[in-house]
Every structure is written in C-alpha cells, then in structure tokens.
Structure 1
Amino acid sequence: MSELLKEKIVIIEDLNKKRRPMPELNAIYFITPRRMSLNLVIDDFVEKDQYKSIHLYLTDRLPDDLFSFLAASRASKKISALREIDVAFMPFESRVFLLDEPRFYKRIIEDSYRHRKLERLAEQLNTIAIALGGDFDMFYQSQISNCVDLASLTRKKLNQNGRLSSTIGDMIIVDRSYDPFAPLLHELTYQAMTYDVLRADGDIVKIDNRDLLLDETEDKTWASLRHLHMADVMKKLANEYEDLMAKQKGLNKTDGTTKSVAELMRRLPHFQRQIQELERHISISEELDKNYDTWIDDLCDVEQDLACDSIEKPIKAIIPWILNKTLSDEMKMRLILLLCHNKKGLEEEKLVQLLKNSGIKEDQWKVVKNMRYFNATVVENDLPVIMKMPKRKQNEEDLKFTDSRYVSRITDLIHYNHANELDDRIFTKIPSVKPKISSIKSGTQKRKTIVFILGGVAPSEMRAAFELSNNTFKPSASWFSSKNNCTFTSDVYIGSSHIAMPHTQLKMFSDI
C-alpha cells in the first residue's frame, strides 16, 4: 500500500461495488479483457462521468471484437491510456504461479465450456512465457486429451508471439492424474500443514480472529521455514527466539553516551519486527500442534505405505481407520481414494462395501466416485490406466522422517526431463521454432522449466520447484541412469489453476 501512496494512488476500489463519483480524479482501471469487465468500465460513463479520465490497463491481449465494443461506447472518449501488460496470472510465490480459477477443471470437462476455457488458459500460459522472457519447447501428456489440446493451443500462441525471439527452456503440461496421491496425503511440512489444518485462504491464515499474511518477500521466517518438516520448524523457532531475546538483552545495555543511546534507538525497531515475526510463527505452530492429534502419526504411516506401494495388504491396513467413528468423513474419503489409486481401481462391490462400512453419508459417495472424471481409476477397469514414468525409489537410509517417504511424481518428472529421459510413449514434444540462446547452450545460464498441472498444484510440488532450483533436494544416486549424474541446473516454475489441498480437491470432486 505504501508503494501505491508514493505514486499518489490514494483510493483502491472494487469495480463490482457501487462507488461514489469522483469526476475531479483520474482513474486507473486494471481488468482482464473480458466483456463482463469492460461493461463495468463502460457503465461508469453511460450518462455522467464517474472519473475525469480512464487509464486502462489490461492483463493481456484485448480481442478485436471487444476493442470495437469498447470503441463504440461513450467511455472511449475518456480513455487517456490503454495498455496490455501481459500478466494474466497470479505470481503466488517466486516459483509458483496460479491462474486463480479453482473451478477450471470442472468447466473443461463440460463440453459447452471446454474449448473456450482451454483457449483462455493458453493465453495465460503465453503471458507466463513473456514474463520469463522467452519461448519454450513444449512437452505434454499425450494420453490426456485436455493436455493434447492445451499444448496445441499454447504452441500456436507462442509461435505467433513476436516478443519471444529465443527458446529458453521447456514447458511441461501434465494432468493431475499423473500423481493423484500428492494432494491427498498428510504432508507434514510447515506450509502444507498450515494450508491443510488451518485452511489458509491463499497466503492468509486466520489465528484467534486475526488475519496473518504469509508473504515470502516480507516475512523472512516464513520463506526460510515453510518447506521444512514441522519437527525441524519447532526446534528452529525456539532456538531463533532464544537467540534474538539474548541479543536484545545485550543491546539494551548502554554506557550512557549519546552515541550508544542513538545506536540502541536505531536498532531496536529492527529487533522488535524480528520478535513480532517469530512470535507470529510460534502462534501458528502452536495452533498446528493443538490441531495435530497423536493418531495422525499412525495415519501418516498408512498413507505413506499406500502412496509408496510398500504394503502387502492395503485394504486390511485401512479397515481400522474406516471403522473408526472418531475419524472425519473427509479423512476416510482421503484414505479410500488413496487405496483406489494404490490398487489402480477397486471392484465396484468392494468399493461400495467400504463406503457403507465407513459410515460416510451416501450422498457423499459421489466425491469418491467422481474421481473418474479426473482421469483417475476408482473402479477396476473403468478407465485405461494412465501411463507414467517409472517411480524412482529413495534409499531408506537417506530418509530423515518416515512420515515423509513419498516423493511426488512431479519431482521425478522434472528430473527425467532435465536428463532428457522422458518416455515418448507418454510425453510428446512440440519444439519451438525459435533458436536456443547461446548462453543456455554453453551452460553459462540455467535453462528454465515450466510445469503446468491441470487440476491443482500440491504444496509438496511447490516445494519441489524451490528445492530443485536451489539444489537443496538431495536424491539418492539410484534415482539416475548410469549415463546421467545428479547435477540439476534448471530454474523451475510450477503452477496450476489453484493450490490442490485435500479439502479443495474433495470439494472439486463433489461439484461435478
């Protein structure tokens, strides 16, 4: 807000709400180039002028028909500036982008919306390429028609984009069904637990009726701790708070001179901000601990066994949990879906029997059964099994936490792509027509990798983008083929329509 005030922007208002006319002020409109948004601008100038003039900024390209629509209105006479800025996405974190459309997947499986929504999505991916400064070779999951059509539409838009003169990396388009496990597991890292347990709304979490902003640029503690396991987070918070209090105690001692008092006054606000930041995270971690039941440890072990396929009798393993009357319907549905993914579908009779025994209300069974619309096999032989790259196993001795054994398939996929080992039976390539820049060819500049997941991005996959880019992900050597070593030298950016948390995914399945 302070940055806006510096630019003399004194009022920010929602276009959808009734606003007081201010004909003495110039107005900046920041909208998506859609008829509904343009109508709101035009309505401000139908009879009287809402503002002195219009400075119109659009997230991306204004189609010709809408340009004509705008030009024919009275509002066009008040336009002082019109600019397309090509940011039709939300930069959620430095390596994570969202298209702010949780209902997107539902709409692309409805024929009446499908092409229009995929076309819009291709436009948005085009603006991401512009933001990153180049064109991309395209890889897509060829078994999934939505991935095929989206890749084709995106390739067309990238080819037509004259602002992209060189190829700087790869864009991979993959369906959520490529790894159905990741959004359903209890992930015990700080960020994932905050989103799952405290139901964070984007980057805002509510504690004791207070809205706390979790922003990687403003909150260094959040940026450094969010991808760590909660056991490590608790230790680090306690140690950092203790160290900071000791430093502040030492700082408060002065020799009484003007110089030392001035130094104290200069440094105290900084310490106060740091203390407040740590206290905020201690409050969040305490809230997580309060909501963390001891049985989650045991439940996590079962979930990890299902995801890692390391259990001989998976149905037998989940029965005690399914029959547990204290376990919520959401938890039971997560377990049943994990079982379906593990078994690549259950016999319909067995699935119905499990649902009956679970005590889940019958009108909620559709949440489990509707998973089939998301290309995941719930009932045996109901859908063709989606082909996937081989899962690379992490050595047991490399694992610090047994409740976090599962490594997402998206992490594997990024590694396979980096090593040029993608299976062409699963992924098809549409190369860019633009030349590769020499600095990437020579290895003096990192190539960029964009991963777009149709159907939501899980926190574990967001974490992978950071860990791989920063070389803090340490796989065992067995992950790699003999002809490729473990060195990873790409900048990874990952995104989707929304963050795929268990409750958001179950809601998405229920809405079909």
Structure 2
Amino acid sequence: LAACDEYECVASVTEAYADVIALNAGLFSLGSQSVAQLHREQAMWTAFEESVFQRQVDGLFAASISLGSVKRGPGPVTATNSSGLTLPVIRYSSASPLARKVALALQKRLEQDESLFESVAGSAETPVNSGGGMLILVADRRDDPVTPLLTQWTYQAMVHELLGLENNRVMHPLAVAGEGGSSEGVEVVLSTTSDKFFRDNYLSNFGDLGMHIKEYLELYQQQTKHQAKVDNVEDMQRFLDQYPEYRKRSGNVSKHVALVHEISRMVEKYNLLECSELEQSLACDDHMSMRDQLKRVKAMIENPRNSNLERLKICILYALRFETDTNGIRDLKGLLQQKGVPPEQ
C-alpha cells in the first residue's frame, strides 16, 4: 500500500470488521442462503450444519465489533471488562433452543476476544457509541410464521419478492437481445446509498409509489426540455458539463419506471390485490367464520389467475389460523395437488 501511495494520499490504515453485507443504513445480511437445517436436532448435525451455525456467530461477532464499544458511564453497569468497556448485552427467545445456542456461542466469543473491543474503542478514527450499551436480540423466525406469508406492498420488499433482489442487485425487467436472438438480462443496482429516489421511496407503499414515480418522470422531462435549449457557446459548455449527470439521471428514471411497470404487471397478472385481501383476512379478521374462510380459500385455489405460490401461502395461513380443522386442511391439500403443487410442499 505504501509503495503504491505515490502522492501520499493515505493518512491512516484502520482494521474494519466488515464480515457482513450492508443493505441499508439500518439493515445488514450475513449472506446465508438458508439456515432451516439448523432446526434439526443437534445430534443430527453434519459438518455443513456446523459451518452454517459458525457463520452466524462469526457474522454477529463482526457486526458487534464494527458497531463499536460503549464507554462505561456513571452509574451501575453489567458485563464490563477490565478496561471499563461495556460488552454487548444479549437477549434471546426463550422458546427457541437454537436462539439460545446462538446467544451462548456469541457471548463466549465476545468474552474470549474482548480485547478487540478495546482496540476499536481506542481508535481515534472509530466513533464510540454514547448510548447505554449495545443490545443484541436473537429471535427465531418461527416465533412469527405469519408475516413472511403476507404479500408485501412497499417498494423494496416488492422488488425483492416479485423480481428477486440480492445484495441490492436486481435483473432489469427489460431484456436486451443477445446473439442469436436470445434474451439476456441486465443487472441494475438498487441502493439507498447511491440512488436518491430509491432512498426516498424504498419504504413507500405501492399506491404512493405510483404518484412519486410520475412526479419523478415529470421533473426529468422538465429538466430535459430546459437543457435541450442550446443557443450559444455558453449553453453548449453548460450542457457538456452537465451531460454526465444528465446521463445518470436518464438511466435512473428509466430504471425505476421499468421496475414499477413490471411490478404493476405482476400484481395484475397474479391477482395479488385480491390474494392480499384474503391473506389479511386470515391473519387479522376475527369476524368471519371458519366455514366462510374455507369457502373463500377454495375459491381462490380454483381461480386460474393465481399462482401456485400464492395458493400455497394462503393455505398455510388458513392452517395456522384454523389448525383444528383437520378435514378442511385435508381438502385444501387435495386441491393444491390437483393444481400441480408438489406433495412435499
């Protein structure tokens, strides 16, 4: 590094514990494809399950270090080391053996490597949190099986669920023709860091998003019309100076318009509005009887517009809501198999 720094631009070098994938300002991922196998009995774990489990502990440990330590303030504190630094406090779901195992392994790792907290807290370049301490909550996804089954209606969540958002990258809905007439997807980035429109609207619901994208397009058209006026040399120079930003804005507008258009098409194609209404009814409505809900679910299964994924999700919601209706659940399983849903699902 020093040999390559010909112009002496590097002021300092700091070790950063960034063994996570930062998706938003308040959200990171460990990049694990699936942890479902960890819910098996530990005696049945193989080397694969052990490696997946260790990845969770390593990632949480790295996140704890990167978020910094907390200096001990006035008043009583707990879990401090000899340097007066407060180690993170860990809470876990008491009903989950796996959450307990993760919490205990993480606590052991933090205690073994507490010196790393001292080095982070003592670094001049690293801000030290000034709150009351870091709290790590280890939750089990099985504590709330309903939420993942509900159709999402915010921009980022819809892109993730309908188009596939991985590490803030998504395949552009519009394909470009490749050699031999084949279609080849174009990958685009959706990041709150580099995309102001996405940062302002990634939590917008689907209804508001349509209005915001319309306003964004109109603003771009107005700016384009203004920049198209080139009457003299000064105008030409100004246009050339602003051309990179103009190209960037043009690509960003077309990207979001294409994404919103594709989302709208899929909402209509797969009848998601009607499916979502039934999902919400199964999850929250206490006024409709079990018989009426079963009738609605069967009608939804028979609707040819609905995808098998939506059929399966709604049947699972029904089974969670009316778990004692064994006859109704058996009938729904039979209907799903008739529609081509594999028995193992």
| 8 A contact 2:38–2:98 mirrored in 1 | no
User: What is the root-mean-square deviation in Å for CA atoms of aligned residues?
Assistant: 2.8
Structure 2 length-normalised TM: 0.74
Could you list the runs of 4 or more consecutive aligned residues of structure 1 that deviate by over 6 angstroms after TM superposition?
none
SS in structure 1 at match of 2:116: coil
1:465-504 superposed matches below 5 A: none
| More displaced 10-residue stretch of structure 1: 228-237 or 142-151 | 228-237
In the TM superposition, what whole-angstrom CA distance separates every residue of 1:305-351 from its partner, at most 9, and x where no partner exists?
Answer: 122244422323322112334432211110011112223x2444432
| 8 A contact 1:323–1:358 mirrored in 2 | no
C-alpha distance in structure 2 between counterparts of 1:139 and 1:107, whole Å: 19
Q: Flag the structure with higher strand content.
A: 1
Q: Which runs of 5+ in 2 are unaligned?
A: 6-13, 70-86, 122-131, 176-184
| Residue in structure 2 matched with residue 308 of structure 1 by the alignment | 284
C-alpha distance in structure 2 between counterparts of 1:246 and 1:116, whole Å: 55
C-alpha distance in structure 2 between counterparts of 1:238 and 1:226, whole Å: 15
| 8 A contact 1:90–1:100 mirrored in 2 | yes
- Partner amino acid for 2:342? Q
Q: Is 1:86–2:17 an aligned residue pair? A: yes
| Residue in structure 2 matched with residue 103 of structure 1 by the alignment | 34
Out of 244, 264, 277, which is 1:269 matched to? 244
Q: Which runs of 5+ in 1 are unaligned?
A: 1-6, 9-82, 368-512
SS in structure 2 at match of 1:138: strand
| Residue in structure 2 matched with residue 49 of structure 1 by the alignment | none
1:100-139 superposed matches below 5 A: 100-109=31-40, 111-113=44-46, 114=49, 117-134=52-69, 135-139=87-91
| 8 A contact 2:156–2:202 mirrored in 1 | yes
Q: Flag the structure with higher helix content.
A: 2
In the TM superposition, what whole-angstrom CA distance separates every residue of 1:253-293 from its partner, at most 9, and x where no partner exists?
Answer: 3552x444322322232123112201111011111122222
| 8 A contact 1:329–1:360 mirrored in 2 | no
In the TM superposition, what whole-angstrom CA distance separates every residue of 1:141-187 from its partner, at most 9, and x where no partner exists?
Answer: 00110011111111111222222258632111111122212211111
Cα 1:317–1:311 shift into 2, 3 Å: farther
| Residue in structure 1 matched with residue 129 of structure 2 by the alignment | none
| Residue in structure 2 matched with residue 52 of structure 1 by the alignment | none
Give the Å deviation of 1:115: 5.3
Cα 1:311–1:275 shift into 2, 3 Å: farther
1:33-432 superposed matches below 5 A: 86-109=17-40, 111-113=44-46, 114=49, 117-134=52-69, 135-160=87-112, 161-165=114-118, 168-206=133-171, 207=173, 208=175, 209-254=185-230, 256=232, 258-293=233-268, 295-313=271-289, 314-343=293-322, 345-360=323-338, 364-367=342-345
Cα 1:204–1:119 shift into 2, 3 Å: closer
* Percent identical residues: 19
- Partner amino acid for 1:245? Q
| 8 A contact 1:138–1:171 mirrored in 2 | yes
| More displaced 10-residue stretch of structure 1: 292-301 or 163-172 | 163-172
C-alpha distance in structure 2 between counterparts of 1:132 and 1:342, whole Å: 40
Higher relative contact order (CA 8 A, sep 6+): 1
In the TM superposition, what whole-angstrom CA distance separates every residue of 1:436-466 from its partner, at most 9, and x where no partner exists?
Answer: xxxxxxxxxxxxxxxxxxxxxxxxxxxxxxx
SS in structure 1 at match of 2:45: helix
- Partner amino acid for 1:351? I
C-alpha distance in structure 1 between counterparts of 2:55 and 2:251, whole Å: 42
| 8 A contact 1:138–1:151 mirrored in 2 | yes
C-alpha distance in structure 2 between counterparts of 1:290 and 1:326, whole Å: 13
| 8 A contact 2:88–2:134 mirrored in 1 | yes
